[in-house]
Amino acid sequence: MRLAILLALMLSFSAQAQVERRDYKIIASGLSVAFPSGYACEPIASPFASPTRHDGSMRRDDRNKGLHGGIDLSLEIGTPLLAIADGEVIALGKGGALEGIYRWLRHTPEDTGTRYFIFSKYQHLSTLPTLKVGERVKAGKVIGLSGATGTAGKHYGPTGYPHLHLSTFYGPSDEYEIKGMFGSMVHGKDARLDDSLILYLDGLDDLSAIRSLTDERKTIRPAVVGDDGRIHPEGRKTVWPVSCKESTKR
């Protein structure tokens, strides 16, 4: 009996440690979003490095010093999630608390038009995606459905909070390791966690220069997928992670 209790405590501490080890130096980028005229898109509910959740409540300070390690979009369960760029599925599965069902993509510089290898993580999916590890995906194509997995309990209550948590890591190499008791932690070699909005900057050459951009340059204008399933404007390599509704005024 005592052994069983001890093992349960060890597993609990191990799971907690996995969450606590996800600590990064997080600094707000100062970037904002302006969507194409004529499209209604889901805005960011909680931006990168925000100390507050979507509902205005303060985040716990037991990891990342209470700052948000990604961007949140409040979505109805079952909302199609889109690949932010061409890429390869490198990991997927069921994570623990605060993660839920997840999927990782790896994007090469050729995929995104940046100089970085980018590792993107989609969390809280409603079901395990049908795409398999090693499969290639195209920008703007559906890669899963949003959900609330991993969010039920504590602050969000028994029903959880349906949303997409998207995090992105930028690095110089395509090499990576998969760690964590759920296999949900991809560590790109020398990759750095930073704002997902950086992906949409034209001519991204140096992450260290992001915070010193002019106010005009800090407004990113992502391409979006419209009701017709096409990317607007055409020819862009990166897109918003959910489709946008076209308004009557274009």
Please name each of the domains of the chain with its CATH number: 2-28+43-204 (2.70.70.10)
β-sheet bridge partners, residue 87: 137
Alpha-carbon span 136 to 82, nearest angstrom = 13
Structure tokens that stand for 166 in this block: 């998207």
Predicted confidence band at 190 (pLDDT cuts at 50, 70, 90)?
very high
Q: Give me the half-sphere count of Cα atoms (radius 13 Å) on the Cβ side of residue 61.
A: 2
pTM for the whole thing?
Answer: 0.89
- The least confident of 38-42, 93-97, 135-139 is 93-97
pLDDT (tens digit per residue) in 17-30: 444 345 668 999 99
| Encoded amino acid at 132, one letter | K
Q: Give me the phi and psi of 17, to 5 degrees please.
A: -65, -35
For the chain, the residue count is 250
